[in-house]
Amino acid sequence: MDSINTRCFAPCPRGLEQALEQELIHLGIQVSGCTEGGVAFSGSLEALYRANLESRIASRILREVTRVPYRNERDVYAVAFALPWPQWFSSSRTIKVKVSAQQCPLKSLDLITLRIKDAVCDKFMKAQRTRPSVNTQRPDIRIDAFLDATHLTLYLDTSGQPLFKRGFRQSTVEAPLRENLAAGILLLAKWNGTTPLLDPLCGGGTIPLEAAMIARRIAPGLGRHFAFEQLSDFDPALWKTVQTKAQAKQLSESPVPIFASDRDPLAVQTAEGCFHRAGVSHDIALTQEDLFDLKPPQEPGTLVMNPPYGIRLDTQANLNEFYPKLGTWLKTRCVGWRVYLFTGDLRAPKLIGLAPSKRIPLFNGSIECRLYEFLLVQGGARRRLNQSPQN
């Protein structure tokens, strides 16, 4: 594994691949390919550390250790056994093997997982007469394997806990939006901290929290640890330098106002705690208020919302009543605003009665969703959905 120029893969929520690619390029990282589900890049240890620390969209940063052809389970074992695992981490570290596949001809991913685990442990036993223990819940080292029709790729996960776990959320509300998906939605909305932001259905506060961190240029990983700190080639001095450079970019306060509200007192309390732990409480004006009682700020900006959609949180009948009322509220109180609605209910524009100027496919886990853009200019934005193309 070459620490001078290492090959990596950054998975992300589906639909955010191009946004992640642009983000990594902006961080000065050399991108080598964008595929469904993530972005490949290469670089030094510094680039690997920076991607973990500063990417808002990536789910993990996986460090490639080999990519070779295979035919059967014996080949998989042989490939894994041939690698110098004891050079990369200590036998005192706990491990977990995770296997994913696409068009793989082998029948059992569980068997492949077991064979890779056996190969790693056998290599340690041969080299050192000791072996790492398995911990499937909170391992020190996660080994990722991906098999396509002809090739096996093995990675060391350098992130540990998924990167969307920023370290600020202690309690949660039902069906929270993941942080990297919220950040991706803001970036797709072209919001960069130069105009006011409003989230009138903020729930546990994920969208306004990510907005405050974007506005203040706070690196999302500053409050947590990473798995690369457990690897043998970890460079503490370099890591400290990367952290110091990221901290030097921070602003002391948000340059624009950020507004958040929700009618649920528990959600508001949860959001307040997250904002406090992240150090951005003074950047977000948080209130407990029903959406339909809310009067948006006089200065128009960007409105981003993630309303409930019936798959998990609400009934169809309630949504059939909610969306027309939302449409009325938007038309009467939000003229001049750029509105972004993220939902898994593809009927939303029709029920709202507004024609979206953009509809961007995204996935919230396995749920197919859309990010709809509505430009609420007086008159023109109000044409009915029967004049617009299908979802």
CATH architecture classification, 6-157: 2-Layer Sandwich (3.30)
Position 18 pLDDT exceeds 70: yes
Domain map (residue ranges) of the chain: 6-157, 179-220+253-387
Mean predicted confidence (pLDDT) in 71-80: 97
Q: What is the pLDDT of residue 380?
A: 47
Q: Which of 21-25, 210-214, 313-317, 327-331 has the lowest mean pLDDT?
A: 313-317
| Percentage of the residues of the chain whose pLDDT score is greater than 70 | 92
Position 223 pLDDT exceeds 90: no
Q: What is the pLDDT of residue 310?
A: 45
Position 268 pLDDT exceeds 60: yes
Q: What is the pLDDT of residue 169?
A: 78
The one-letter amino acid code at 91 reads: S
Q: CATH topology of 6-157 equal to that of 179-220+253-387?
A: no
Tell me the pLDDT tens digit for each residue of 310-331: 444 456 777 788 999 999 999 9
3-class state of residue 345 by DSSP: coil
Q: What is the pLDDT of residue 139?
A: 97
Mean predicted confidence (pLDDT) in 39-57: 97
- Angle at which helix 265-278 crosses helix 206-215, to 10 degrees, equals 30
CA 285 to chain CA centroid, Å, is 24
| CATH for 179-220+253-387, options being 3.30.360.10, 1.10.645.10, 3.40.50.150, 3.40.50.12780 | 3.40.50.150
How many other C-beta atoms can be found within 10 angstroms of the C-beta atom of residue 99? Answer: 24
Does the CA dihedral 307-308-309-315 come out positive or negative?
negative
* Cβ neighbourhood burial of 74 (10 Å; 0-12, 13-18, 19+): exposed
Per the model's pLDDT, the better-predicted residue between 175 and 224 turns out to be 224
Q: What is the pLDDT of residue 167?
A: 85
Averaged pLDDT of the chain = 92
Q: What is the pLDDT of residue 174?
A: 62
Question: pTM for the full model?
Answer: 0.91
Q: How far apart are CA 271 and CA 263, in angstroms?
A: 12
Mean predicted confidence (pLDDT) in 43-65: 97
Position 385 pLDDT exceeds 80: no
Q: What is the pLDDT of residue 216?
A: 97
Tell me the pLDDT tens digit for each residue of 103-152: 999 999 999 999 999 999 999 999 999 999 999 999 999 999 999 999 99
Q: What is the pLDDT of residue 303?
A: 98
